[in-house]
Every structure is written in structure tokens, then in C-alpha cells.
């Protein structure tokens, strides 16, 4: 029997566990360890609450967690409660699937003013992440800005623009729903350093903006190259640009009080305000020969008392694990960090791709592990038994998959009408449900 520790229970952790199960055909015990008592990583804390169909992927992960040879060990933070070196002593291989939960910084003056919030924080706030339950984003001003041109930026702008009724059937947390309902924000500017052809927004997410109850998307046709230039784009990107061109051609609906303004070729230079964010000073850009943004020297101001930055994420370093500072992820070669130590998902690749991208990633690393530790072999490492003894000696109380089901049942039972669940937003609430 082989013993594997998969650290992180997001998509990458679950796909890797599934792949290891297949590769080792019943000759492996796999522990999926997570710092929280609730699994699924960004499926719970990242994916937008009004995109419920995407969250259904967790059913597949449930099957893995319920299957023979796999255990979920929650409420254990690797790097704090147990070190990676200790896990390597206890297990045949350790796979780090801890994602990339930290916001990347803009690196401009004024970024630390109150009112400037990273998207991981903002998304965590409306999704019930315990670290951000008390974020209290300023929603009292009329102008907000989102910096970034990817789908997460779109998620943030859409959530800021929706009415209470539009959240029906979502699992947005109560504190965010109430605060957004009272929000005074009427204009949300989405800033991107380059142009429409360079966006990383997908057609489905862009298309939704045409159907918002209270907001109209505003796009300036002058930002676009001639329509023939779209022919060179790959089909998905071409579709996104076609949707943006449709927005150019559609006048703002006067019956809708909110505006979502796409400001392309706009590079934030600094954030200004009297003790809090009030405006972004932006430089107009153009594309250079290599397609990078080049400042033109022309500057202007975008008013915003809430500024959400959505320009990427990084993985936090863990003691004793090789780290790629520039890439903000573990230093790895095709998923291998060192002897019997691997990385998968965002901790391996950085924050790119969809949920599904993590599947081939996990399978590739599982194949690599199977090549190094031939299935059928065994070791005398203690695996979960040793881990539990170690945690016990440190007064760390792990939770298991049945505990998660209890939490899930309670959340579902607490759900408001029309919501799939009322998420607990504090670690104490999860543990309280378990009588801890």
C-alpha cells in the first residue's frame, strides 16, 4: 500500500486524488488535507454565487471523497499545524494543491488607501470566506472601478451591478446581499491596460452583461481596430469581441440606473484621495510593436471610492519548499518540486485556466508519481495514522468528510427561500455545527 497526502481540496487536489486512485488501482490510501473543514477551494469561495451550475462540479469531487481509500482531513493548515518535511516522513509522496489565494499588487502609489480591495478579498467577502467576512467594502459612493480585464474582474463588476432579485437562486452570503442591496454605486468602470482584442473575458460571461436588470454595458467603438482584424482571432476570442461590438451598437437603456463602462487602453498611475480612495489617475496607452501597453503621456481621472484590483494571484510560500518569486508559485519542473514532492493546479501553473484545466494537470502529475513509485509496491510509511497521532500531540482537531456533510446539511437547512444554502462565514460556525 502507498500513502499519499494531497494538500488542498480544490479542483486540482480532487482531480489528482481521482487520478492517483486510478493509477494505483486500490493500492493507495489518499488523504486530502485542507486548512478548512469545508472542501472544494475556489468552487465554494471563488466561483460567483450567481453561477450555480458551475458549482455542480463538486458532485464529482464528492464521489472521490466517498470512495474507498480516500479521506478528507479538514481543519489542518500545512506549514502551520504540520510541516511539509513531516508529511514527507509520513507519506510516500506529498502533492501541494494549495491554489493561489493572494492578490497580486498593482505596485502604484495610493494602493494601500482604504477603499482599495483585492479581488480575492472582495470575492471572498460575497462568497463567505471566513478571512473576509468583516471586509465591509465601501458601497456608499456612486462610483466604483474594477482594475483588470479577465473573468474575475467581470464577476466583481456584475456582482456590484445586480439587484437583490437577480441573486435569487444564488448562494451569495446574507451580509453581502444586504450591503449590495443598499449600495449607492451607479457607475462601475472596468479598466484594462490594453484593448478589446487583448481581453481575457469569455463570451458567456460577457454575454450576461446584456441582460442585467439595472445596468447597461457601455463600450466605446473608437477603441476597436477595423472589424476585419477580428478574423485573425481564435473563435472564442472573436465571439467575445463580437459581443463587445454589439454593446457599442446598443445605446444605454435609460430605464436602467447603472452603467458598466469599459475603459480600454487605460493604465492606472496612482490612486488619490483624502485618507481614502477617491479617484484613479490613469494614463492613456497604445499598443507597441510587441502588443504591450505603452503610455502616451495623456492622463485623466476616474472617480471611484471603491476600487477592486483584479490583476492576478500568487501562491504563498511554505517553509522548506522551493519557490518561484517571479511566477508567484512553487518552483517545479512539470509538477515536480523535489524528491517525492509535487505541485498541481494553480500552485503549479499560476492562476490561469478554468476548473477543467486542473484535470489534465492532476492526471499528468499522478502519472509521473506512478512512474516513480511503481503501483503495487509498498512502503512502511504510516500515512494518516501517523498524521493523526502528530496532530493529536499538537491539540489540532481534524475534521472528516462526514463532518463536512453535517455542515452542508445545516447550511442547506438554513437556506433562505430560493437559495441553495446559507453559507456559514466563520470557522467557529463550522466547528460549532460539529459540537466543537
Q: Which is nearer to ligand FAD, 23 or 95 (CB)?
A: 95
Q: How far is the CB of 210 from ligand FAD (least distance, A)?
A: 18
Among 353, 375, 386, 420, binds ligand FAD (CB under 6 A): 353
Q: How far is the CB of 375 from ligand FAD (least distance, A)?
A: 24
Q: Which of residues 216-275 bind ligand FAD (CB under 6 A)?
A: none
Stretch that binds ligand FAD, among 17-25, 45-53, 102-110, 248-256 (CB under 6 A): 45-53
Q: How far is the CB of 367 from ligand FAD (least distance, A)?
A: 18
Cell of 156: 466583481
Among 2, 8, 280, 306, binds ligand FAD (CB under 6 A): 8
Q: How far is the CB of 99 from ligand FAD (least distance, A)?
A: 2
Cell of 278: 477617491
102 is an interface residue for ligand FAD by CB under 6 A: no
Q: Which is nearer to ligand FAD, 218 or 355 (CB)?
A: 355
C-beta separation of 296 from 320 below 8 A: no
Stretch that binds ligand FAD, among 3-11, 19-27, 222-230, 270-278 (CB under 6 A): 3-11
How far apart (Å, rounded) are the C-alpha atoms in residues 302 and 391? 51
Q: How far is the CB of 181 from ligand FAD (least distance, A)?
A: 21
How far apart (Å, rounded) are the C-alpha atoms in residues 337 and 302? 44
Total number of residues binding ligand FAD (CB under 6 A)?
33
Among 1, 22, 27, 51, binds ligand FAD (CB under 6 A): 51
| Interface characters, 139-178, with ligand FAD (x: CB under 6 A) | -------------x--x-----------------------
Q: Which is nearer to ligand FAD, 200 or 252 (CB)?
A: 200
How many CA atoms are closer than 13 Å to the CA of 227, on its beta-carbon side? 8
99 is an interface residue for ligand FAD by CB under 6 A: yes
Cβ neighbors of 192 (< 8 A, separation 6 or more) are 148, 149, 198, 199, 262, 263, 264, 265, 266
Q: Which is nearer to ligand FAD, 141 or 192 (CB)?
A: 192
How far apart (Å, rounded) are the C-alpha atoms in residues 436 and 428? 8
| Interface characters, 20-39, with ligand FAD (x: CB under 6 A) | -------------xxxx---
Q: How far is the CB of 292 from ligand FAD (least distance, A)?
A: 25
| Interface characters, 305-344, with ligand FAD (x: CB under 6 A) | ----------------------------------------
Q: How far is the CB of 315 from ligand FAD (least distance, A)?
A: 8
Stretch that binds ligand FAD, among 2-10, 84-92, 177-185, 319-327 (CB under 6 A): 2-10
Among 243, 271, 355, 365, binds ligand FAD (CB under 6 A): 355
122 is an interface residue for ligand FAD by CB under 6 A: no
Q: Which is nearer to ligand FAD, 42 or 106 (CB)?
A: 42
Contact footprint for ligand FAD (CB under 6 A): 7-13, 33-36, 41-42, 46-47, 51, 54, 77-79, 97-99, 123, 152, 155, 345-347, 353-355, 358
Amino acid at each position: 500500500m502507498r500513502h499519499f497526502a494531497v494538500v488542498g481540496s480544490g479542483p486540482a487536489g480532487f482531480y489528482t486524488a481521482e487520478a492517483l486512485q486510478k493509477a494505483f488501482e486500490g493500492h493507495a490510501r489518499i488523504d486530502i488535507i485542507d486548512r478548512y473543514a469545508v472542501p472544494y477551494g475556489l468552487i465554494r469561495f471563488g466561483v460567483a454565487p450567481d453561477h450555480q451550475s458551475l458549482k455542480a462540479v463538486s458532485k464529482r469531487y464528492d464521489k472521490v471523497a466517498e470512495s474507498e481509500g480516500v479521506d478528507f482531513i479538514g481543519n489542518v493548515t500545512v506549514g502551520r499545524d504540520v510541516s511539509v518535511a513531516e508529511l514527507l516522513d509520513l507519506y510516500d509522496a506529498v502533492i501541494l494543491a494549495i491554489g493561489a489565494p493572494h492578490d497580486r499588487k498593482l505596485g502604484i502609489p495610493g494602493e494601500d488607501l482604504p477603499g482599495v480591495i483585492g479581488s480575492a478579498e472582495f470575492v471572498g467577502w460575497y462568497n463567505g470566506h471566513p478571512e473576509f467576512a468583516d471586509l465591509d467594502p465601501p458601497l456608499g459612493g456612486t462610483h466604483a472601478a474594477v482594475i483588470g480585464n479577465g473573468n474575475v474582474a467581470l464577476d466583481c463588476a456584475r456582482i456590484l451591478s445586480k439587484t437583490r432579485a437577480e441573486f435569487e437562486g444564488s448562494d451569495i452570503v446574507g451580509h453581502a446581499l444586504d450591503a449590495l442591496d443598499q449600495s449607492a454605486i451607479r457607475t462601475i468602470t472596468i479598466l484594462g491596460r490594453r484593448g478589446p482584442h487583448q481581453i481575457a473575458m469569455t463570451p458567456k460571461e460577457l454575454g450576461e452583461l446584456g441582460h442585467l436588470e439595472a445596468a447597461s454595458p457601455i463600450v466605446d467603438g473608437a477603441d476597436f481596430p477595423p472589424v476585419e482584424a477580428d478574423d485573425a482571432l481564435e473563435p472564442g476570442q472573436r465571439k467575445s469581441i463580437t459581443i463587445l461590438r454589439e454593446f457599442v451598437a446598443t445605446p444605454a437603456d435609460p430605464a436602467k440606473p447603472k452603467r458598466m463602462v469599459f475603459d480600454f487602453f487605460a493604465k492606472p498611475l496612482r490612486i488619490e484621495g483624502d485618507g481614502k480612495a477617491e479617484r484613479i489617475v490613469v494614463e492613456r496607452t497604445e499598443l507597441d510593436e510587441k502588443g504591450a501597453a505603452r503610455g502616451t503621456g495623456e492622463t485623466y481621472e476616474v472617480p471611484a471610492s471603491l476600487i477592486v484590483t483584479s490583476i492576478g494571484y500568487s501562491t504563498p510560500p511554505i517553509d522548506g519548499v522551493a519557490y518561484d518569486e517571479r511566477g508567484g508559485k512553487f518552483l517545479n519542473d512539470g509538477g515536480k518540486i523535489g524528491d517525492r514532492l509535487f505541485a498541481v493546479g494553480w500552485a503549479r501553473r499560476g492562476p490561469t485556466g478554468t476548473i477543467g484545466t486542473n484535470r489534465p494537470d492532476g492526471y499528468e502529475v499522478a502519472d509521473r508519481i506512478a512512474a516513480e513509485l511503481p503501483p503495487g509496491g509498498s512502503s512502511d510509511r504510516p500515512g494518516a495514522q501517523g498524521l493523526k497521532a502528530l496532530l493529536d500531540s499538537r491539540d489540532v482537531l481534524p475534521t472528516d468528510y462526514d463532518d463536512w456533510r453535517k455542515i452542508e446539511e445545516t447550511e442547506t437547512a438554513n437556506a433562505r427561500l430560493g437559495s441553495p444554502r446559507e453559507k456559514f462565514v466563520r470557522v467557529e460556525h463550522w466547528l460549532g455545527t460539529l459540537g466543537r
